[in-house]
Amino acid sequence: MYVLPGSFGLNKRPRAAVRRPGIYGRGMDDKEIMTHIDELIQTEHELRRQLAAGELSSQEERDRLRSAEEALDQCWDLLRQRRARREFGENPDDAVARPASEVEGYQQ
């Protein structure tokens, strides 16, 4: 699942892009990806604050936090792909977000 910028709020899970498989992440530049990463980090902090304040159940927090972490992994991976393509003379716009199941196990 690739998450579109602005599709993740504090009270909802990330939404998958509604596009054909294999084109997720195209049309986003590095700055847009970094902005989305910042939004997801803020969301992660807000979820932890809400849990500490008793506004969320532990299960709710775990589910929503897991979704945010998966989206973060995908965004970081997409940004790395774009930078690597640029470094080796390839088009960074050809990079695509990989499935969360694939990027979750990567070493940071």
**Main-chain dihedrals φ then ψ at residue 3, nearest 5 degrees:** -105, 130
Look at residue 78 in the predicted model and tell me its pLDDT.
Answer: 94
Look at residue 37 in the predicted model and tell me its pLDDT.
Answer: 93
Cβ proximity of 103 and 72 under 8 Å: no
The amino acid at residue 35 is T
The amino acid at residue 89 is G
Look at residue 18 in the predicted model and tell me its pLDDT.
Answer: 33
Tell me which H or E stretch contains 60.
helix 58-87
**Main-chain dihedrals φ then ψ at residue 82, nearest 5 degrees:** -60, -45
pLDDT in tens, the chain (108 residues): 444 444 444 445 444 333 334 444 566 889 999 999 999 999 989 988 888 888 888 787 788 888 988 999 999 999 999 999 999 999 999 999 899 988 876 655
Q: What is the DSSP string of 4-33?
A: PTT---TTSPPPBP-S-TT-TTTT--HHHH
Look at residue 32 in the predicted model and tell me its pLDDT.
Answer: 92
- The structure's pTM equals 0.70
Burial class (CB in 10 A: 0-12, 13-18, 19+), 106: exposed
